[in-house]
Every structure is written in structure tokens, then in C-alpha cells.
Chains A and B, each alone.
Chain A
Amino acid sequence: MPLEGKLALVTGSGRGIGRAIALKLASQGADIIVNFFRHRETAEQTAKDIQAKGVKAEVIRANVGSPAKINEMFDTIASKFGYLDILINNAASGVGRSVLDVDVKAWDWTMDINAKAALLCAQQAAKLMEERGGKMVSVSSLGSFLVLPTYAIVGISKAALETLTRYLAIELAPKGICVNAVAASAVETEALKFYIKEGLVKDTRQATPAGRMIIPEDVANVVAFLCSEEAFMIRGQTIIVDGGTSIAPLSAAGKEES
């Protein structure tokens, strides 16, 4: 198995995309640290499902929006394992508002979790990867460059995340650490169902050229590839997983209306 003996930290991996990534990496042999913040039950279920694949799973609760909690999480990893091979910056949050309604609290909350946490986790992870190299992959979204309704702060935070990915990729290359990102369009998760229900996002099932919604496993497959040695020469890139939506907006709109 390609990731046998590797240790991966997946932030926000109790549910949705993070859970799919954790399970995918586990199926390739990696031991997984399941980080969660608000939903212990789902995180523990993810850990059980990982263990059922014959690898180790460790659950760590930490609010990655808090630098102190990030430090505590990495202190735990350092003392328990002493190394880390893969960091997946997946944990995300956000407040759905138009730009003019964004206040300082909403900005700080979103940027802290979606962008600052990735920086701080990468800095800590790099220390644990120092002697063995490693992989870092961040989960972004099309909102980093497309304007989506009420997505302003999250989109801005994802743009920061992608730029951070490029800088990390170059600065960490001499340490044998590969850094990339994956940007998905609307992924079929509990979070998306909420947005559709609230009328904030259209159900884009019909509007995706590939003919179906993106599912978490689509993202997980690309993340796993970026964590493999086959992706060694890909550095600082954001790979788009959207079934073609972003390059064919007109054809997608036509499909939707028909």
C-alpha cells in the first residue's frame, strides 16, 4: 500500500470532505489523526471506520481557529508520535454574507479558521516533517476566484489559502515537502444541503458538465494522488475538481434551464 507507515493529520475530518479524505488515505495504508471541533460523535465514527481498515486512528479535538489550540494539538502529535508525514488542511468555516455586510467578527472567524490555521498548521507540521519530508494539501474551493452569492469572506479566505500554498510549496521544497491544494465546486455534503435549503446555493446537479454533483470521494481521490510519490513534481498548484463547471459556465447554465 502506497502510504503504509505514513502518519496523516486531517483537520476537520469528522464529516464531509475531511472524512472522505481520512478514509481514502487510511485505505492506502496511512495512520490517521482525526481532528474535529464541534462534532465528537462523527469524529469517533470516522476513527472507527479508519481502524476497520487495519490502520491506527487517533482523535484530537482542537479548534484550529485558535493558535493556542493548534499548538496543543501539535504538542500532542509530537509527544505521541514524534513525526508527521501528511498534513491535510481541510477544516473550514464561514459566515454567509454579502461583502457590505461583513463585519470584523465574521471576517476574523473565517480567516482564522480557513487561512491562518493553514499557516500555523503548516509551520508546526514542517518541524515534524523535517527529517523525512512530507506532503501538505489544502482544501480550497472555486469561490477563491469565482464570485458566489454570500460567499465573499469564505472566497477571500480560500484565495489566501491558495496563495499560501504557493509560498509554502517553494519555501518547503528544499525540505522535501510537497505542498498543493485542491479546489472543488459545490460538493454534496451536509453543509451543502444546508446552503441549498437556505436558498444560498442552487442545486447544481443538472449544471455540471460531468453530469452529477461532486461527491467528497472525488476530492479525496485527488488529495490522495497529491500525497503520492507520483505527484512529486506537482508543486504549489491548486487542482480543480468540478466536473467541468468552471470552464463551461454557459453550457452549464443552458443545461440547467432545459
Chain B
Amino acid sequence: MSVEEQIRSIVANIVHVDESIITRDSTFKDIKADSLDIVQALVAVEEAFDIEIPDEAAQNFQNFGDFVSYVENHVAEKEKA
């Protein structure tokens, strides 16, 4: 499973929506995620990939694609290190 697929699965599971409605352009608002859903999704993704996503970074995510890109970059950095 790719990073994107794993994150989509985590988010869908937390927000209780079908994975198919989450595209790279989707915002949390689009998928009706509330603030608790968002924090829980961030925490779950952090634990799944063993990375840190500070709120300062998360606040800049415009959509699901930004979220995925951030994680992909940090997973790649971690693998290089």
C-alpha cells in the first residue's frame, strides 16, 4: 500500500467515510471532518509512519494532497537518514 493509500485508509476510518470520496483535492471540510477528527487523523498518521506533524505544519495543509505530500517527504527523509 502506498503512503497515500495508507493515509486515506486512516482518515476514512476516523471520519467514518468511504475511502473513495477522499481525493487529493478534498479538504477536511469536504469530507465533514471536525476538529477532533483532524487531530486524531494527524496522531494516527504520526504513529503509523513514526514521524512528527506539528500543528504549525498541519495548519498549512490546504487539502488531503498537501497532507499526503508532507508525510511522503518526511518518510523519504527518514529513510535517507
Contacts and interface: CB of A to CB of B under 8 A. Distances in A.
Interface of A: 38-41, 61, 63, 95, 105-106, 109
Interface in B32-50: 35-36, 39-40, 43
Most chain B CB inside 10 Å of its own CB: which residue of A41, A61, A105, A106: A105
A39 B54 CA distance: 6
Contacts of B39: 38
Given A38-B55, A109-B36, 4 more contacts: A40-B52, A40-B54, A41-B56, A105-B36
How many interface residues does chain B have, given as a range? under 10
Contacts, number: 20
> Which label, helix, strand, loop or mixed, suits the secondary structure of the B interface?
helix
6 contacts: A39-B54, A39-B56, A41-B54, A106-B36, A109-B36, A109-B40
B49 to A, nearest CB: 15
Contacts of A63: 43
A109 B42 CA distance: 14
Nearest to B36: A95
B11 to A, nearest CB: 14
Contacts of A39: 54-56
Nearest to A37: B43
A17 B56 CA distance: 20
Most chain B CB inside 10 Å of its own CB: which residue of A38, A61, A106, A109: A38
A41 B43 CA distance: 17
A34 to B, nearest CB: 15
Nearest to B35: A95
